[in-house]
């Protein structure tokens, strides 16, 4: 069994696993912030987050076919490193740095060196990620992270949520976006309308703090609203009054939010996944917001979590 890495600072603790370079647990003064659910727990998602429809995309005139890792939806899900054991290159009481190499593989014939560092300190938990193209060709790349957040109660329905985004990426039955719909397009309808929840713009609008109760989410959001410092901040207010703030830098252009409705019995809607992503689902296929990293180039992003 892979050894877990324990971090501690003051009354805060965190647990990181080398498998997927994943954040498994984060606690502040005994209050759970990040928890495990048994599904992609805190993993790094690279070289793409979320799904690629049919595992198929074209880049620089070449069509690539990725392995299908989500057969039920016929998608390539969550990248190539979620189950990989990363190398621990530095560890202290308050921080850990992990690395792994992406070598050419079916559907992704590119080379990258990936580095992720977790720092626990006065400002909460900070995460720094870097992808260096160590190959000879330009390559598409995306980062994502999959932490599960404790709602401050038994179920997410008791929590309130803010997702600062300008658009909802309307998904099809495979959770692949088919439309980017702005929240201020004038098509809002009352929350108690009779339309299908899956096509309800207002039901997905969490630009202002409101209850998660009764809302099923497995949705992506674009055009993050940013504060004057350039960062976008999602907020999850628990029933206990404590608020988890997830802030991301300008490299992250999308949020994914999942209320965990498909989790196994006993875990459904017990935690909320709020996932920072540099690009939306199916981005390799659509080309939307995909970073193209030149040989010798890097993509670096930073985000963090704190409980207030």
- pLDDT one-digit tens code per residue, 113-125: 999 999 999 999 9
Cα distance between residue 11 and residue 115, in whole Å: 27
Q: What is the mean pLDDT of residues 56-77?
A: 98
Domains located in the chain, CATH noted: 5-307 (2.70.98.10)
Cα distance between residue 267 and residue 264, in whole Å: 6
**pLDDT over 70, % of the chain:** 95
Structure-token pair, residue 69: 């890792």
pLDDT class of 265 with cuts at 50, 70, 90: confident
Q: Are 181 and 199 in contact (CB under 8 A)?
A: no
Question: pLDDT at position 12, please?
Answer: 98
Tokens 């490299």 — which residue? 251
pLDDT at position 189 over 50: no
């Amino acid at each position: 069994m892979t050894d877990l890495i324990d971090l501690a600072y003051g009354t805060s603790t965190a647990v990181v696993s080398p498998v997927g370079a994943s954040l498994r647990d984060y606690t502040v003064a005994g209050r759970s912030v990040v928890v495990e659910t048994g599904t992609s727990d805190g993993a790094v998602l690279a070289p793409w987050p979320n799904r690629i429809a049919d595992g198929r995309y074209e880049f620089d005139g070449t069509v690539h076919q990725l392995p299908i890792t989500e057969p039920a939806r016929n998608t390539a899900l969550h990248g190539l490193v979620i189950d990989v054991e990363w190398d621990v290159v530095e560890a202290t009481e308050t921080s850990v740095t992990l690395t792994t190499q992406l070598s050419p593989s079916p559907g992704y014939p590119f080379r990258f060196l990936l580095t992720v560092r977790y720092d626990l300190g006065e400002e909460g938990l900070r995460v720094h990620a870097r992808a260096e193209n160590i190959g000879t060709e330009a390559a598409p790349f995306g980062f994502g992270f999959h932490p599960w957040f404790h709602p401050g109660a038994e179920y997410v329905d008791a929590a309130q949520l803010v997702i600062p985004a300008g658009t909802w990426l309307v998904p099809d039955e495979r959770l692949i976006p088919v439309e980017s719909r702005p929240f201020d397009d004038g098509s809002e309808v009352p929350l108690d309308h009779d339309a299908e929840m899956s096509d309800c713009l207002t039901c997905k609008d969490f630009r202002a703090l409101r209850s998660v109760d009764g809302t099923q989410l497995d949705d992506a959001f674009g055009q993050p609203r940013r504060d004057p410092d350039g960062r976008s901040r999602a907020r999850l207010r628990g029933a206990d009054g404590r608020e988890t703030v997830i802030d991301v830098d300008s490299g992250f252009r999308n949020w994914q939010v999942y209320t965990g409705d498909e989790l196994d019995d006993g875990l459904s809607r017990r935690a909320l996944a709020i996932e920072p992503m540099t690009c939306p689902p199916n981005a390799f296929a659509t080309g939307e917001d995909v970073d193209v990293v030149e040989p010798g180039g890097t993509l670096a992003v930073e985000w963090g979590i704190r409980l207030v």
